[in-house]
Structure 1
């Protein structure tokens, strides 16, 4: 018996075992025949990976209405990975210089955020998205190395995704960009548009939370209410290091709304304390940890990561590029008090 002779329920189960990656590796695998496609395209659209380029093509494609329907009703896992503006070849062709490149890049920024907001609107209508993995790396400008580091992610873009009632897994890593409070004054943005409170609002429905933000505070781990019945995994990384680019300096997350640079040690201590309190509200915690990089943790392979395992109270070290949830080598207890200079390093964020 061939696969096509199987009942639809069995064929669906077989293709679910293969997963969306099977079709991403070769898009032609979707088009075996009409009946096959009728089942396979739902598997393909259940788990989507998008970068800036593919996102732009998606919203420029004439088949968008059909795909929008699939996003509404099939998309369960969404992975978004941004690296800022990358079309530097076109900049060279147009012979733009430091002085007139900004409007060109600003146009890209507006476009990518608008497309993400449209995508979030489609997903809201379907209410089936369960897992969101969103990463925004620092923008790397090899042609214009004198340009300062640039933020490119709108607050509203992220908020549109964080207001999804269906989310059970949130992995939010925006180490490469502060949130731009578009249309809001700087004095208003800190008081009225605080991302951590929106993350905290999701805690009662989440199973897994992973965070790395340029600005963060303990409120992100403070559930609104006492119960987090499903939450099993919480990882917060305070180290803005190990980006996949030529950026070799490392800094730490800052406390939300801080115009001055308070000591990193205090922020780290507060985050660890709140993670400990949160663990006490978790029915079946599996992993709860807070990561950072030690000031002397740089090697030829990148920055090592140290973490507090909240459930055991022990500290351990991860080698560069090791996943945040892997077990590290347990470190001996510090013999002396750390000074506040531990919270600064070359390239610290401004």
Structure 2
């Protein structure tokens, strides 16, 4: 029997088992025939990773109504943003690829953006992200979202923006209230809609409202406060089982080591030690409401060794993590007073350069 003669529900299960990665490796695998495409597209769009370049190509590929397979199938959304200006153009249009043996190359959509001012580039990027947020809000199967945003200066652009995410953009994604997994790993600060960095840019309460559906929460942001661990409803149990708050903003940039810690939202009062203590206190208050707490960690780094230290809220133990370890992994336990808290500088920032 031909594969495509199987019942539709069986075909859907087969393509779902094949998964997104099979088609992302080669979009030509979508081109077997029209009936094949009907089942392959939902599988392809189940798990999607975007950079700012591939997102720009998606937005410029055609009307948003052509993205219905994405809305109907999206379960896992990853954003990997570097802040670098667009350097090349590529095609992101599986439906068009399925109709033509050779993918057409979108001309000019990204090259033009190389020459525009950084402020205009920021607006274009955030407009694209805003349209993706609308798709996310309409994706009823979306359960996992990971946003990683870095500052990676381009050698070819003197005005590479250090901060490029507008606050309303991220708020648009956080309005999706069906997440099970949320990862925000941001080394860039938010800008207000005018494009300027300012005080009062506070998304922690919006994250707290998501705790009622979340099972896993990983956060690293330049500005943070205990509100991220305050559910909107003060009563009731939570399915949340894993919480990691990383206050260390160490990034691996060629020639430069940043040793910053997060700051408290809206104020520098109290410094890192107070911020860590307040987040720990709120985490301890949250734990009894979690039906099955497994991991609750607060990460910092020591100076001058730049060791990543993981405080286990549930046990009170402190561990040292190797550079290649995940945030929620178990490291080597350290004895009390072996790394005095005085090594956590309250100003939290040192920079070393090879130059």
TM-score, with normalisation over the residues of structure 1?
0.85
Report what 2:202 is aligned to.
Answer: 194
The alignment partner of 2:341 has SS state of coil
Identify the match of residue 302 of structure 2 among 275, 294, 308: 294
Displacement of 1:131? 0.9
Displacement of 1:180? 0.5
Q: Distance in 1 between matches of 2:316 and 2:343?
A: 22
Change (3 A) 1:183 1:345: closer
Report what 1:240 is aligned to.
Answer: 249
Report what 1:94 is aligned to.
Answer: none
- Note the 1:247-286 alignment, pairs <5 A: 247-258=256-267, 260=268, 262-286=270-294
Contact 2:264 2:275 in 1 (8 A): yes
Displacement of 1:112? 0.5
Change (3 A) 1:339 1:172: same
Displacement of 1:111? 0.3
Instruction: Extract unaligned runs of 5+ from structure 1.
Output: 91-100, 299-303
Change (3 A) 1:322 1:242: farther
The alignment partner of 2:32 has SS state of coil
- Alignment length (residue pairs): 326
The reply on whether 1:112 has 2:86 as its aligned counterpart is no
Contact 1:130 1:167 in 2 (8 A): yes
Deviations 1:313-343 (A, max 9, x none): 1111110121112221111111585327633
The alignment partner of 2:117 has SS state of helix
- Note the 1:73-92 alignment, pairs <5 A: 73-87=72-86
Deviations 1:173-200 (A, max 9, x none): 111x11111149977x51xx52001000
Contact 2:166 2:195 in 1 (8 A): no
Identify the match of residue 153 of structure 1 among 165, 168, 192: 165
Report what 1:312 is aligned to.
Answer: 315
Q: Distance in 1 between matches of 2:196 and 2:339?
A: 44
Contact 2:79 2:148 in 1 (8 A): yes
Q: Distance in 2 between matches of 1:78 and 1:336?
A: 38
Report what 2:351 is aligned to.
Answer: 347
Deviations 1:62-89 (A, max 9, x none): 364211x223222111101100033479
Change (3 A) 1:7 1:155: same
Q: Distance in 1 between matches of 2:135 and 2:341?
A: 49
Change (3 A) 1:287 1:223: same
Identify the match of residue 132 of structure 1 among 129, 142, 145: 145
Q: Distance in 2 between matches of 1:345 and 1:33?
A: 57
Report what 1:171 is aligned to.
Answer: 183
- Root mean square deviation of aligned Cα: 2.7
Displacement of 1:296? 2.9
Report what 1:71 is aligned to.
Answer: 70
Displacement of 1:2? 5.2
The reply on whether 1:219 has 2:227 as its aligned counterpart is yes
The alignment partner of 2:28 has SS state of helix
Contact 2:302 2:343 in 1 (8 A): no
Q: Which moved more, 1:165-174 or 1:338-347?
A: 338-347
TM-score, with normalisation over the residues of structure 2?
0.83
Report what 2:101 is aligned to.
Answer: none
